[in-house]
Amino acid sequence: MEKAKIKLICQLVEADGQNVAARLADKEHVSRQAASAWLAAARQEGVISSEGTGRGVRYALATLASASKVYQREGLSEDIVWRELCAPMLRELPDNVRGIWQHAMTEMINNAVDHSGSGQVTVAMQMNALFTEGFVADAGEGIFMKIQKALDLYDTREAILELAKGKFTTDPTHHSGEGIFFSSKMMDRYTIRSGKLHFDHRGEGPDWLLEHESDVIGTQVSMRLANDSTRTAKEVFDRFALPEEFSFAKTTVPVRLAQHEGETLVSRSQAKRLTRRFERFQSVVLDFSGVDEIGQAFADEVFRVFQNAHPDISMMPSNASAAISAMIKRVQNPT
Ligand SMILES: Nc1ncnc2c1ncn2[C@@H]1O[C@H](COP(=O)(O)OP(=O)(O)OP(=O)(O)O)[C@@H](O)[C@H]1O
Ligand SMILES: [Mg+2]
């Protein structure tokens, strides 16, 4: 079966395992019988599996390769895990995709080894015809708690804002705080779960903070990337470097992470939390998506007081509503 047809079938199955034949027939303008024959062929090739019969049949993407292992954390080397567990099952993937997986898996394993204090580290990967997923989990202190303690934060949720800014590390002697920032941006989906909090990054979009009922012990990282992704690790690094330079000099900060449930960004202390560590960057894009308005004191603290104290940092608002843009203008040009 040709590649494009397999991909289409897998995408329909991924969206919903039920009524696939009807949706495929609709999409390709063929009869139900022809669509069913294609599905049977795809199953024959091993890219999808099915359960049940007739109209009640349910399809799922078949797992084409998988690997998982529980390691003792002490003395574990991320490159050995990569070589023995991950690389062998990813051999067929294009170089750019394998390169991203090598970067992200080794960074996340290194984090569990160096920062978690856990007894064991679980590493797993699985691949289907569309995408590959990677998991790294430990039963240690938990990433958000660790950051909260290190920065003496009032609220664990502020830890996610610090991670989203980049260049955050609790161990500056040995680390630079770039692992999560870049790995998350190389993936199509990237999630860290710890305690009741999720840090979520999808594609090119801003980072999200989600709260859940269930408690996750330690730290669990899940990542997903399309097998035919055209992204490269280098292009992600370049996006946050200045032209002609290789260093990590730019960042994009999702301002909504500074705004907790039911709050509005009005105060100088909220502004100071937002601008904390901005001086490590030469250019900061403030992404206001998900924020409707900001108060005068907040805007004044960020765009006049902080900016005047740090004239070399370029701060650029993006996705700002008309009300937010007007407030920024007002504090920048006081009359
Ligand atoms: N599995 C984990 N358990 C506990 N804390 C973690 C874990 N992973 C990361 N952290 C915390 O999150 C911080 C940021 O991680 P990140 O990988 O972005 O940077 P880093 O490891 O400090 O530096 P680099 O990755 O550049 O070597 C770490 O400094 C650590 O405090
Ligand atoms: Mg790291």
Q: What is the pLDDT of residues 48-106, one digit of tens each?
A: 999 998 778 999 999 999 999 999 999 999 999 999 999 999 999 999 999 999 999 99
Task: Indicate if 305 and 266 belong to the same structural domain.
Answer: yes
Which of 103, 105, 111, 135 maximizes ligand 1 atoms within 8 Å of its Cβ, making it the mutation to test the pocket? 111
Q: Give the range of the structural domain holding residue 147, as residue numbers without chain letter.
A: 65-236
Structural domains of the chain, count: 3
What's the rounded Cα separation, in Å, for the pair 29 and 35?
9
CA neighbor of 317 nearest in space, from 327, 306, 325, 309: 325
Predicted confidence at residue 253, as pLDDT, reads: 94
Q: Which two tokens stand for residue 170?
A: 């609790």
At 209, is the pLDDT very low, low, confident or very high (cuts 50, 70, 90)? confident
Task: Report whether 218 contacts 139 (CB < 8 A).
Answer: yes
CA neighbor of 221 nearest in space, from 190, 185, 177, 186: 190
From the CA of 140, give the closest atom in ligand 1: 3
Which of 107, 158, 169 maximizes ligand 1 atoms within 8 Å of its Cβ, making it the mutation to test the pocket? 169
Element (H, E) at 165: helix 158-165
Task: Indicate if 150 and 231 belong to the same structural domain.
Answer: yes
Task: Indicate if 119 and 169 belong to the same structural domain.
Answer: yes
pLDDT mean over 12-39? 95
Pocket of ligand 1 (CB under 6 A): 107, 111-112, 115-116, 138, 140-141, 143, 146-147, 168-171, 175-181, 219
> Ligand 1 center to residue 177 CA distance, Å?
6
> Ligand 1 center to residue 241 CA distance, Å?
21
Task: Indicate if 43 and 76 belong to the same structural domain.
Answer: no
Task: Indicate if 261 and 327 belong to the same structural domain.
Answer: yes
Pairing of strands 250-254, 283-287: parallel
pLDDT mean over 262-282? 94
Q: Which of the listed residues 202, 236, 270 is the one where a domain comes to its end?
A: 236
Residue located nearest, by CA, to atom 23 of ligand 1: 177
Task: Indicate if 132 and 54 belong to the same structural domain.
Answer: no
Query: What is the distance, to the nearest Å, from the Cα of residue 307 to the centroid of all Cα atoms in its chain?
Result: 29
Predicted confidence at residue 222, as pLDDT, reads: 97
From the CA of 111, give the closest atom in ligand 1: 8
Question: For the chain, how many residues are written?
Answer: 335
Answer yes or no: is pLDDT of 260 > 90.
Answer: no
Query: Can you give the CATH number for the domain in which 283 is found?
Result: 3.30.750
Predicted confidence at residue 334, as pLDDT, reads: 76
Task: Indicate if 92 and 177 belong to the same structural domain.
Answer: yes
Task: Indicate if 25 and 168 belong to the same structural domain.
Answer: no
Answer yes or no: is pLDDT of 148 > 90.
Answer: yes
Predicted confidence at residue 246, as pLDDT, reads: 73
pLDDT mean over 275-279? 95
Task: Indicate if 173 and 89 belong to the same structural domain.
Answer: yes
Which of 103, 109, 114, 115 maximizes ligand 1 atoms within 8 Å of its Cβ, making it the mutation to test the pocket? 115
Query: What is the distance, to the nearest Å, from the Cα of residue 202 to the centroid of all Cα atoms in its chain?
Result: 5
CA neighbor of 291 nearest in space, from 268, 314, 270, 272: 270
